[in-house]
Structure 1
Amino acid sequence: MEKTFYLSSSDKERYEKEFNQERQQEILRRTARDLPISTLSAARTIRYCERCQLIKPDRAHHCSACDICVLKMDHHCPWVNNCVGFSNYKFFLLFLLYSLLYCLFVATTVLQCFIKFWTNELSATRAKFHVLFLFFVSTMFFISVLSLFSYHCWLVGKNRTTIESFRAPTFSYGPDGNGFSLGCSKNWRQVFGDEKKYWLLPIFSSLGDGCSFPTRLVGMDPEQASVSNQNEYARSIGSNQPFPVKPLSESKNRLLDSESQWLENGSEESTVRSGL
């Protein structure tokens, strides 16, 4: 985890001594203003990990089993006894693919002996039970791994993690399960990299640093965005939300860029009121 996501010693001391949650959030907002984050908690607050004492990067979550914040955490896998996240998600997908191919290989090679077993053409040896057991085990594992692999392929195409598929990340305009989706092709390249020759090899080739991710908002033309719907949503949740109402542009791709956005919104409202 980059050091920039940790609070400074002075801010950390002030945060721990402060009991007012709003003032604690103010301390976090000042630090988060310089960080490449674009998501909030479900309560519309800065995502801060009390255990690791850091501001969580986008898509990062704290694993209770590993007791650490994991970048782009997908889930904690008991089969590999480790967290699956940004650093090993490609390896996890290849692990499923290799297991799938191995189960298919075992099932197809034993299929001939399995057919002979049912037609009583197999000689009466102790290997009959082993052949029957091996075929059923490989087939059951093939079906289960196939379903899991297919699900994760769907997640990659949507650029979601397992956590995000159950709980959509919250952006400045509200929850959006497709907030990080850049299109199927770019989503796959974000996990496997630009060099296709490395896709099926256990070589790390994922794009990015795991701390910041491009979103659908970056590069969006504000005039094409539905500003009226976002303003209506902002009014419905109150005027004390700690984030700007307007969609982020390419030059303002931070959750809390500067107070000028608030001043801009305030000047617009005063102009409208004076005109009325």
Structure 2
Amino acid sequence: MPSQLGNDVVGFILPFVVFGIVIYTWYIYIFRLCYAKLFDVNRAEAVAFMTIGTFFMVLTLISYFRIYFSYPGKAIHATPVSLSTPPSFPRFYYSPRLLDLRKTGRRDIEEANETTSLLPVVSVCRNDGLPRYCDTCQCYKPDRTHHCKECNACILKMDHHCPWISGCVGHKNYKFFFLFVLYCAIYALWVFCTSLPTVIEAMNELEASLDPQWIVLLVLAFVFGMTLWGFAGVHGYYIINNQTTIEHISQRPNEIRIDFDISGQNYEIVTTHHDDKLWDLGHSRNWSSVMGKSPWGWFVPIYGGLGDGCVFAYNDSLYDKIIERAKRQRMMLNPSMT
């Protein structure tokens, strides 16, 4: 297995590699191709190519800097629990009537009126009913939080660890990651599609000199463009379905705890299939939860997604099914209870 020192070295070097490739390809495209080859032939076309190429290059770098310097979101430290500790009321829980739809955050049940009408509440738990807890980080793990071994931290709504940013992609920087991949793909394919005709024309001119760096530009633009377009498509699919990479590839079922009161003792555990999209709210709401509510800000790498990353709205249909299954389990175990 790679050492931590090796991971740190790679994580330090790769951001410079990303920056170097983007700037190098931009230099070739602007000065060695558009200005040197096209400017005297068709000045308007050269200026348009240079302007659009620079625009997407700038958006690529801004998005990269935003994700590189943004916090993915980490679970907070809490008092340790032991295996012998009886289950208590979970620290993170969801109920439709406790969710603040404006911020996709939650109100504490103790602060809400008519506590009984706000129950039951649901949360992802361990198979023994205890709230999910990380012994390494000594913190309770909200739904969709996972421990990253490389970062040695529990990341909120963790998608994956990315060596290219020397850190994790999580709840607070996922939008910037998606925009970086998207803009880099657009930039690369724009450069490739507008450079290819010029290079082919130069190759057909017997007396014309062929700049070797044009070939380097085409190869880099094609490889990164096609690769990142596929990557952007995959993550676009995850966004509109409200999934993370970890959730999409996971084959493990979720254990859902349903608390019927705030005592921490009156609960049932329901096991859901790993294919159940617990947090799928429909394409529109899924998209807004990551990209923001305002269409004007969807493709601007300034503000992140909605919510605090600790509580997420459940799919209404699955939420109702989980509650009904919990009630049936309760009736089967104790028919006298309602």
TM-score, scaled to structure 1: 0.70
Give matches, 1:13-162, under 5 Å. 15=81, 21=83, 23-24=84-85, 26=86, 29-32=87-90, 34-36=91-93, 38-41=123-126, 46-121=131-206, 123-125=208-210, 127=211, 129-162=212-245
Distance, in Å, in 2 between the alignment partners of 1:187 and 1:57 is: 19
Distance, in Å, in 1 between the alignment partners of 2:161 and 2:285 is: 25
The letter of the residue matching 1:159 is N
> How far off is 1:226 after superposition?
9.7
What is the aligned residue count?
221
Distance, in Å, in 1 between the alignment partners of 2:308 and 2:130 is: 24
Is the contact between residue 146 and residue 158 of structure 2 (CA under 8 Å) also seen in structure 1? yes
Q: Kindly indicate whether residue 300 of structure 2 is the aligned counterpart of residue 201 of structure 1.
A: yes
Is the contact between residue 113 and residue 131 of structure 1 (CA under 8 Å) also seen in structure 2? no
Counterpart of 1:164 (choices 247, 255, 260) is: 247
Is the contact between residue 72 and residue 210 of structure 1 (CA under 8 Å) also seen in structure 2? yes
Q: 1:51 to 1:122 in 2, by over 3 A?
A: farther
> How far off is 1:246 after superposition?
3.3
The letter of the residue matching 1:207 is L
Q: 1:211 to 1:184 in 2, by over 3 A?
A: same
Structure 1 outlier segments of 4+, above 6 Å: none
Q: Which residue of 1 aligns with 2:327?
A: 246
2:147 alignment partner, SS class:
strand
2:154 alignment partner, SS class:
strand
Distance, in Å, in 1 between the alignment partners of 2:207 and 2:190 is: 21
Residue deviations 1:174-203 (CA, integer Å, cap 9, x gap): 234411101111100110111110011112
TM-score, scaled to structure 2: 0.58
Q: Kindly indicate whether residue 272 of structure 2 is the aligned counterpart of residue 174 of structure 1.
A: yes
Is the contact between residue 75 and residue 154 of structure 2 (CA under 8 Å) also seen in structure 1? no
Q: Which residue of 1 aligns with 2:78?
A: 6
Deviates more, 1:36-45 or 1:98-107: 36-45
Q: CA RMSD in A?
A: 3.0
Give matches, 1:225-236, under 5 Å. 227=324, 230=325
The letter of the residue matching 2:183 is Y
Counterpart of 2:291 (choices 192, 198, 201) is: 192
Distance, in Å, in 1 between the alignment partners of 2:75 and 2:161 is: 22
> How far off is 1:47 after superposition?
1.9
> How far off is 1:113 after superposition?
2.4
> How far off is 1:102 after superposition?
1.2
> How far off is 1:265 after superposition?
6.2
Is the contact between residue 280 and residue 315 of structure 2 (CA under 8 Å) also seen in structure 1? yes
The letter of the residue matching 2:288 is R
1:79 alignment partner, SS class:
helix
> How far off is 1:45 after superposition?
5.2
Q: Where does the alignment leave 5 or more consecutive residues of structure 2 unmatched? A: 1-73, 94-121, 257-269
Distance, in Å, in 1 between the alignment partners of 2:253 and 2:244 is: 10
Is the contact between residue 113 and residue 122 of structure 1 (CA under 8 Å) also seen in structure 2? no
Deviates more, 1:171-180 or 1:96-105: 171-180
Is the contact between residue 145 and residue 156 of structure 2 (CA under 8 Å) also seen in structure 1? yes
Distance, in Å, in 1 between the alignment partners of 2:75 and 2:129 is: 23
Is the contact between residue 78 and residue 138 of structure 2 (CA under 8 Å) also seen in structure 1? yes
> How far off is 1:38 after superposition?
1.5
> How far off is 1:205 after superposition?
3.8
Q: Where does the alignment leave 5 or more consecutive residues of structure 1 unmatched? A: 231-244, 248-260, 272-276
Residue deviations 1:208-256 (CA, integer Å, cap 9, x gap): 110000001489556xx795xx4xxxxxxxxxxxxxx239xxxxxxxxx
Q: 1:226 to 1:204 in 2, by over 3 A?
A: closer
Distance, in Å, in 1 between the alignment partners of 2:305 and 2:182 is: 17
Distance, in Å, in 1 between the alignment partners of 2:219 and 2:183 is: 19
